Amino acid sequence: MASGRDLILDDTGRVWRTGSQALMASLHIGRRDYDLTRYVIRNLGFVRFRTIRGDARVTLHPRFLTRPAFESLIHLLVSHDCDRTIIERADVPNHIEIIPGVEDAAARLADLATAGGQLTRADFYREELSLRRLRDDRRLSALSAVMRRWRSTQGELRGDFAATFGDPALRGRAMVIRFTGDLRGVVEYAGDGFTCFDPSWRSSVLGHDMSEQPDPQYGQRIAAAYVETHIAQSPRLEFVEAVIRVPGCSARRSRYERLLLPWRRDGATFVSAVSVLRTSFATASSM
């Protein structure tokens, strides 16, 4: 990877060298002592992109970020393939975000770009993934362990839910739904790792319909995969990106992979979902 790059992306997506006299001339700024870099970021929607010892450092003002500048920025991130991205926001002094991986950094920048009004994103998106990803992606090792247990027991639940889904490696991000004859799903177990919800949610949700979440719209959307897994009686791996709105809290955009598995116990049928959280941030619109 090239190192030591220091570039400015203008609102059209054009890339300039930071401190470029040509850029100053194009903006009709003649004073050499003028803090051009700070001005164009804070007022014109320009972005500064630097590479420092394997990291990318991005400085921007989200409210002014244009689609061309965003697209040019993502191209630079992908082409440089940095280990992590440090995001510095001109509108929030002395605050940085450090995000490992190009894919997650691009997703976070896309979220920030929505504040500029030129980029729109869906509040909910899910995609079925190949189960081979459990083998190939080390970040999903906790999900792989649950899959191995499901296969070894042939989908038969043995012991209580906490014994099966309370493994610390799952970080409390597990739910178990019991299905009734009319395809209604009832929450039988919820881990303590869903930090977007109030701590009291874990106990209050038990015995309730799976769609009855603090964000009802989010609850209805996530319920569909449980039903699909129950009907198919086969494992399902998904990527989910969702904006979660909890009353009294800032809306958060979260990205995660989840493994859904069908189970049986004493004549009843269940579906479990365990997930690995990738990123979770307050959305730009709620900041």
The three-point CA angle 212-134-245 to 5° equals 25
pLDDT tens, residue by residue, 169-206: 999 999 999 999 888 999 999 999 998 888 888 888 99
Q: Which of the residue ranges 20-24, 51-55, 234-238, 276-280 has the most confident prediction, judged by mean pLDDT?
A: 234-238
pLDDT tens, residue by residue, 144-168: 999 999 999 999 998 889 988 999 9
Structure token digits, residue 171: 């970080």
Instruction: Find all residues with CB under 8 Å of 159, minimum gap 6, and list them.
Output: none
Structure token digits, residue 87: 């995001």
- At 81 the three-state DSSP class reads coil
pLDDT tens, residue by residue, 95-108: 899 998 888 898 88
Model confidence at 285, in pLDDT bands (50, 70, 90)? low
CA 198, 200, 203, 209: dihedral to nearest 10 degrees? Answer: -50
Q: Among the residues of 65-215, which ranges form H helices?
A: 67-80, 102-113, 133-136, 141-153, 161-165, 201-204
pTM: 0.78
Model confidence at 283, in pLDDT bands (50, 70, 90)? confident
Q: How many other CB atoms are found less than 10 A from the CB of residue 61?
A: 21
Instruction: Find all residues with CB under 8 Å of 254, minimum gap 6, and list them.
Output: 196, 240, 241, 242, 244, 277, 279, 280
Q: Which of the residue ranges 25-34, 130-139, 223-232 has the most confident prediction, judged by mean pLDDT?
A: 223-232
Give me the pLDDT at residue 185, please. 94
Instruction: Find all residues with CB under 8 Å of 5, minimum gap 6, and list them.
Output: 49, 50, 51, 80
Average pLDDT over all residues of the chain: 89
Model confidence at 119, in pLDDT bands (50, 70, 90)? confident
Give me the pLDDT at residue 2, please. 44
Which of 119-128, 214-223, 270-279 has the lowest average pLDDT? 119-128
Domain boundaries, the chain: 6-116, 124-286
Which CATH code for domain 124-286?
3.30.450.20
In whole angstroms, give the CA distance from residue 110 to residue 120.
9
Mean pLDDT of 73-85: 91
Strand partners, 257: 239, 276
